[in-house]
Amino acid sequence: MSLNILTCNEDNVTEVMYSAFEPIGRVLEIDRISILSIQEQMATFSYSWRADGSKNPLGEGFNIEAMTLLQRRLQSLDPIIIDDIESIKDSAQTEYTLLKSQNIASIALFPLIDGQSVFGILSASNLYHPQQWTETQKTILSRLSTTVSELHIRLKNHNEMTALQDELIETNRRLHIAAETDELTGLPNRRPFMTELAHNTESLFVSTITTMMIDVDHFKQYNDTYGHVQGDFALRYVAQALKQVLSPCGHMVARIGGEEFCALLINTSQEESVVLAQQMRQEVEKLNITHSGNDPYDIVTISIGVAFQHLGNHPITPQNMLENADEALYAAKKRGRNHVEIATGTKW
């Protein structure tokens, strides 16, 4: 029986407790066996078995702050054995009144101990008629209290270990996200972008891939003129503008370094890709961030190179896609910046 209690888990602990308490109560001729948890001077029924099948008081509790007899014995970690509650009528009036209200005539209380602290009480009681607790009863109930204490410790350790594992998993998740997130803009960085690009070039469910290389025009001059703090602000605004266009469509945009961004569009036509590129360019223009070194526009602008590829035509590597987009970006800058150019040579 002790083994059954010790090997139970949180899902079936109530069932196991009841199945253990009932035969013990029947054999020892006890009317009630209960476990009360103690927290902040409140004792609350956690598990209870009653021979007469009366209503279980689970969740009910009472304040033990004024119970001097109980407090004293709990502090010394000693059991309380009362053959007849009338014997404590004068010396422990608070305890007597509570027991009398429950029709308890005799009671045995055993502290449940976690190390050197009491976390609860094992209570065994008889109703209406006093009885002398035998050595057999006290020994079995004492062993039962030890078993319950060991179960509590095991479950607590298990819960602490589970909580620690969950915390480690969450920490690893956050570290993983941090490792793949650009700290300045909150966009993915190069690593997840390249992983996603490589994955999609090999996927059977992807028919077309568009990659875009995006560069903030004359950004070095911007930093030289307005300072790196303002440069960081500008990059954040640009990043949000790009994300605002692509994220609702399920497309990916990443910051791969400095003032350079990359976009990845899956199963999107060439025409749709160019439309989205133009939208991004226009959204950055709408930011209207002053940039006196970006002649002739005098505001922050971006240039975009677009590389579109049907995967079924011939093998293509992620590096090829990025090189094609980079060549198109170079062409867009050569045209005077604030332009979108597609790698086929068609100008937009």
DSSP β-bridge partners for residue 338: none
Neighbours of 150 (CB within 10 A): 16
d(CA 257, CA 251): 19
d(CA 270, CA 339): 16
d(CA 348, CA 342): 8
For the beta sheet containing 252-257, the strands, ordered from the edge strand earlier in sequence to the opposite edge, are: 252-257, 260-266, 208-216, 302-310, 340-342
Q: Which amino acid, 81?
A: I
Active-site residue flag, 95: no
- Token pair of 165 as six digits: 């594992």
Tokens 């790196």 map to which residue? 228
Omega prior to 296 cis, within 30 of 0 = yes
Q: Of residues 95, 259, 283, 341, which has the active-site annotation? A: 259
d(CA 243, CA 303): 16
Catalytic residues: 259
